[in-house]
């Protein structure tokens, strides 16, 4: 058997296209464009690449991009002062502070300062709480993109057995919450999980977000399972995922490649969250299911 390859690049292009159309309509109604502010502290090359592509994608989707590049020795107080300014700026609908931050800045102090209704990354504890309790809020972009790919592939995940590997606040925990809300039966596995292959063997859906190259083996999988690989690991062999792709592709029913799977969906979902924020902030109605 050979798995279908889930084309995240194509799905992301379709989503960006729809967001762009809605953003143009928003501008017509609200008399201004939706705006996303991205803050980069320091000069980590990978972060600089992400921030540049976020800026380009924002403009391409008919939104305004505000970029703030601060030196690596910026103080926590100065960064928080910038967040306060962006919170108060009516042209800014969404705020994203690129992670990781320099070590002398406490991530939590900054992320909790962002107005939860501008928190398009969905990292604020208020939004984590909204997700956990079924309230409207912002969902972190990577797990949101994973769920969209799963729904494209499977239609409905209700009643499916899902194993999420990795319990980070950015991916694993919100992924488990989203799948739970979508009525899947969810196991959240992590580094202390006993007999991980035994859990994976029962899963209709496997989401791998551990950050270890080729960690999930093809022989662990239930034949026909849908596999979502969130890993982006730089190795001597180039960019590889958390799943042993070649081994998994001969057992799975469908699988995301790395690159070209989950990655492109993350920025598309960021634009989607910004569009939703703009409508809320401007008091303009939006049918979220239509996006």
Active site residues per annotation: 54, 98, 121
Binding mask 95-114 for ligand GUN (x = CB under 6 A): -xxxx---------------
Residue number with CB closer to ligand GUN (82 or 196): 82
Contacts of residue 122, defined as CB under 8 A and 6 or more positions apart, other chains included, come to 128, 131, 137, 138, 139, 140, 141, 144, 174, 273
Shortest reach from residue 121's CB to ligand GUN, in Å: 5
Residues 140-159 that bind ligand GUN (CB under 6 A): 141
Does 86 contact ligand GUN by CB under 6 A? no
Question: Between 6 and 97, whose beta carbon lies closer to ligand GUN?
Answer: 97
Least Å distance, CB 169 to ligand GUN, is 11
Residue 57 tokens, joined: 């994608």
Task: Please list every residue from 248 through 277 that binds ligand GUN, using CB under 6 A.
Answer: 266
Neighbours of 57 (CB within 10 A): 21
Contact indicator for 19, 278 with CB cutoff of 8 Å: no
| Residues 155 and 147: beta-carbon distance below 8 Å | no
Q: Which stretch binds ligand GUN (CB under 6 A): 57-65, 92-100, 186-194, 281-289?
A: 92-100
Choosing from 115, 121, 242, 244, the residue that interacts with ligand GUN (CB under 6 A) is 121
Work out how close the CB of 270 gets to ligand GUN at its nearest, in angstroms, rounded to a whole number: 7
Helix (H) or strand (E) holding 40: strand 35-41
Q: How far is the CB of 33 from ligand GUN (least distance, A)?
A: 21
* Strand intervals (E) in 138-211: 161-165, 185-189, 205-208
CA distance 107 to 109: 6
The DSSP 8-state label assigned to residue 275 in this structure reads: H
The residues that touch ligand GUN, with contacts defined as CB under 6 A, are 96-99, 121, 141, 266
């Amino acid at each position: 058997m050979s798995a279908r390859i889930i084309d995240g690049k194509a799905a992301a292009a379709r989503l960006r296209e729809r967001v762009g159309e809605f953003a143009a309509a928003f501008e017509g109604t609200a008399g201004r464009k939706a705006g996303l502010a991205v803050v980069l502290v320091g000069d980590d090359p990978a972060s600089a690449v992400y921030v540049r592509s976020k800026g380009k994608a924002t403009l391409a989707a008919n939104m305004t991009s505000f970029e703030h590049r601060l030196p690596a020795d910026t103080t926590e107080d100065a960064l928080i002062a910038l967040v306060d300014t962006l919170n108060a700026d009516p042209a800014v609908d969404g705020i994203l502070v690129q992670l990781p931050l320099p070590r002398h800045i406490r991530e939590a102090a900054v992320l909790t300062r962002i107005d939860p209704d501008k928190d398009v990354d969905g990292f604020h504890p208020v939004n984590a709480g909204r997700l956990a309790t079924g309230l409207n809020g912002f969902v972190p972009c990577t797990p949101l993109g994973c769920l969209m790919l799963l729904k494209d592939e499977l239609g409905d995940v209700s009643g499916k057995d899902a194993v999420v590997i990795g319990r980070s606040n950015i991916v694993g925990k919100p992924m488990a919450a989203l799948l739970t809300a979508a009525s899947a039966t969810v196991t959240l596995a992590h580094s202390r999980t006993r007999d991980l292959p035994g859990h994976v063997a029962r899963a209709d859906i496997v989401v791998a977000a551990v950050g270890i190259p080729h960690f999930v083996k093809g022989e662990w999988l239930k034949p026909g399972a849908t596999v979502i690989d969130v890993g982006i690991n730089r190795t001597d062999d180039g960019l590889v995922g958390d799943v042993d792709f070649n081994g998994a592709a001969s057992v799975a029913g469908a699988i995301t490649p790395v690159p070209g799977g989950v990655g492109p969906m993350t920025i598309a979902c960021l634009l989607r969250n910004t569009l939703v924020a703009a409508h809320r902030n401007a008091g303009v109605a939006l049918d979220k299911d239509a996006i």
